[in-house]
Amino acid sequence: MPTPNTPLWEVFIRSRNGLSHRHAGSLHAADSTLALQAARDLYTRRGEGLSLWVVPSSAIVASDPQDKGMMFEPTASKIYRHPTFYEIPDEVGHM
């Protein structure tokens, strides 16, 4: 229940060593300690994680949907940025 006493937090989980934290969802909590505990209780019940971050949602600066033309469309014509034009030897494994 969103109230001024329990602001919104974003939850990030790292599932394995070597991987990066990924956004898992959000929750309401009164402070950072309870936010971390709630993140554990809500998002790691099935062995999803080895490390948790919680970040106040208000600390996130988001792009404006109206800017999406300027922000993202120019990349559509630059397919040469995708590394798909050369063969990766099998020995390299998963990159």
| Binding-site ranges for other proteins (CB under 8 A) | 1, 6, 27-30, 33-34, 37-38, 40-42, 45
CB of 9 closer than 8 Å to CB of 57: yes
Q: Which is nearer to other proteins, 6 or 15 (CB)?
A: 6
Structure tokens at 44: 């790691």
Q: Which lies closer to other proteins via its Cβ, residue 16 or residue 45?
A: 45
Which of 17, 41, 38 lies closest to 27, judged by CA? 38
Min dist CB 47 to other proteins, Å, is 13
What is the spatial distance between Cα 35 and Cα 30, in angstroms, rounded to a whole number? 7
To the nearest whole angstrom, how small is the minimum distance from the Cβ of residue 5 to other proteins? Answer: 10
Between 15 and 44, name the residue whose CB sits nearer to other proteins.
44
**What is the closest distance, in whole angstroms, from the C-beta atom of residue 44 to other proteins in the complex?**
10
Smallest separation, CB 46 to other proteins (Å): 11
